[in-house]
Amino acid sequence: MSEIGVKNGVATMINVFHVEPEDQKKLVALLVETTESVMRHVPGFVSANIHASVDGTRVVNYAQWESEEHIEAMLADPEVHPHFAEVRAIARPERGTYRVVYVEEANPRD
């Protein structure tokens, strides 16, 4: 269970992958495998949260890192590049680094 909050202090990387519906399952499996074998061992990793679109055309990785600097360092790490190439062979990623600015809940827990 990951948490989204304005005061979490994490940096959020949201990556929307555009994919052919017949490749969506393969892409999810690839992102899960990359998270478990590589990303979770990279300094600053907080969480990865993988979402499959109902229409089959997209996968989103909502990933939390300790800081924007940790994201930059991960993106520059040559060890992760072969994994990005595997993903790019079947999907078009659209990545951004974000700050949470507002949270509104029907039933707030804090």
76 binds its own copies (CB under 8 A): no
22 binds its own copies (CB under 8 A): no
How far apart are alpha carbons 53 and 7 in whole angstroms?
28
Residue type, 66: E
Residue type, 46: V
Residues 6+ apart with CB under 8 A from 67: 10, 11, 44
Judged by beta carbon, residue 54 or residue 85, the one nearer its own copies is 54
Residues 6+ apart with CB under 8 A from 89: none
Segment 34 to 63, residues that bind its own copies, using CB under 8 A: 35-36, 39-40, 45-55, 57-58, 60, 62
15 binds its own copies (CB under 8 A): no
Q: How far is the CB of 76 from its own copies (least distance, A)?
A: 16
Residues 6+ apart with CB under 8 A from 104: none
Closest CA to 17 of 70, 53, 54: 53
Select the span of 74-82, 83-91, 102-110 touching its own copies (CB under 8 A): 102-110
Site of interaction with its own copies (CB under 8 A): 1-5, 8, 11-12, 14, 16, 28, 31-32, 35-36, 39-40, 45-55, 57-58, 60, 62, 68, 94, 96-110
